[in-house]
């Protein structure tokens, strides 16, 4: 009797292998041959699910974004606006978006890699734009709960702060530790909505 393969599970297996390669080698390291070896599959199995390098990278980045989104969706916004509960909620949101542990560090590396690659490869621009828009919406919502005067503008500033801290944490450019990231974010949030 032939072995039945769950196509969704196989696709996840391949995208997980691609994610590991992006973290280890960058977007350029995601070749069908390397992904197949990482997933312990033949190249034909990888090609069956992904037409080319770009669709494979986009699927992997989307999977990383979905994981972040899943964690964010489990956070409950406070029932009332303002106060310590709203600030704590914003800090919980921010904690999910920056590299404070190995999982979030890997996600930050993946984002840095695909954002940089999108500058020269237009195939990555839609996923990068969608992730930026999702981040903006999440930040505006969380900032609105603390009574920030201009949540749209503050979301842009906060996204820049998150991006800079993440870049510095995952590259030799800054080597920022998780405790320093948390301290910077907490100091910034303390200035909001006052």
| Mean pLDDT score of the chain | 92
Distance of CA 124 to CAs 55, 110, 121, Å?
Answer: 9, 12, 6
Q: What is the pLDDT of residue 19?
A: 96
pLDDT-based confidence at residue 172 (cuts at 50, 70, 90): confident
pLDDT in tens, 31-57: 999 999 999 999 998 999 999 999 999
Q: Give the span between the Cα atoms of 17 and 79, in whole angstroms.
A: 40
Q: Is residue 194's pLDDT more than 70?
A: no
Q: What is the pLDDT of residue 100?
A: 95
Q: What is the pLDDT of residue 17?
A: 96
* Lowest-confidence region among 125-134, 150-159, 168-177: 168-177
pLDDT in tens, 123-140: 999 999 999 999 999 999
**Contact yes or no for 61/110 (Cβ under 8 A):** yes
Mean of the pLDDT values across residues 144-165? Answer: 93
Q: Give the span between the Cα atoms of 144 and 150, in whole angstroms.
A: 8
The candidate with the shortest Cα–Cα distance to 63, out of 2, 93, 106, is: 106
Q: What is the pLDDT of residue 59?
A: 95
% of the chain residues with pLDDT over 90? 78
Q: Give the span between the Cα atoms of 142 and 147, in whole angstroms.
A: 9
Q: What is the pLDDT of residue 185?
A: 96
Mean of the pLDDT values across residues 60-84? Answer: 87
Q: Which residue has the tokens 């999982």?
A: 103
pLDDT-based confidence at residue 82 (cuts at 50, 70, 90): confident
Global confidence as pTM = 0.89
Q: Is residue 1's pLDDT more than 60?
A: no
State CA 8 to chain mean position distance. 21
Strands (E), the chain: none
Using DSSP, state whether 157 is helix, strand or coil.
helix
**Contact yes or no for 89/78 (Cβ under 8 A):** yes
Ordered domains of the chain (ranges, CATH): 7-190 (1.10.357.10)
């Amino acid at each position: 009797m032939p072995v039945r393969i769950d196509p969704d599970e196989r696709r996840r297996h391949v995208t997980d292998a691609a994610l590991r390669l992006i973290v280890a080698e960058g977007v350029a390291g995601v070749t069908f041959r390397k992904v197949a070896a990482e997933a312990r599959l033949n190249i034909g199995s990888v090609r069956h699910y992904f037409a080319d390098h770009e669709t494979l990278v986009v699927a992997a980045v989307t999977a990383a974004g979905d994981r972040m989104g899943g964690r964010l969706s489990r956070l409950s916004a406070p029932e009332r606006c303002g106060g310590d509960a709203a600030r704590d909620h914003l800090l919980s949101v921010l904690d999910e978006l920056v590299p404070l542990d190995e999982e979030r560090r890997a996600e930050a590396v993946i984002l840095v890699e695909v954002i940089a690659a999108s500058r020269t490869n237009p195939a990555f621009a839609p996923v990068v734009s969608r992730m930026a828009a999702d981040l903006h919406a999440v930040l505006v919502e969380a900032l609105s709960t603390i009574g920030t005067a201009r949540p749209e503008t503050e979301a842009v500033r906060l996204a820049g702060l998150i991006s800079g801290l993440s870049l510095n944490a995952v590259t030799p450019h800054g080597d920022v530790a998780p405790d320093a990231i948390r301290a910077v974010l907490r100091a910034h949030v303390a200035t909001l909505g006052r």
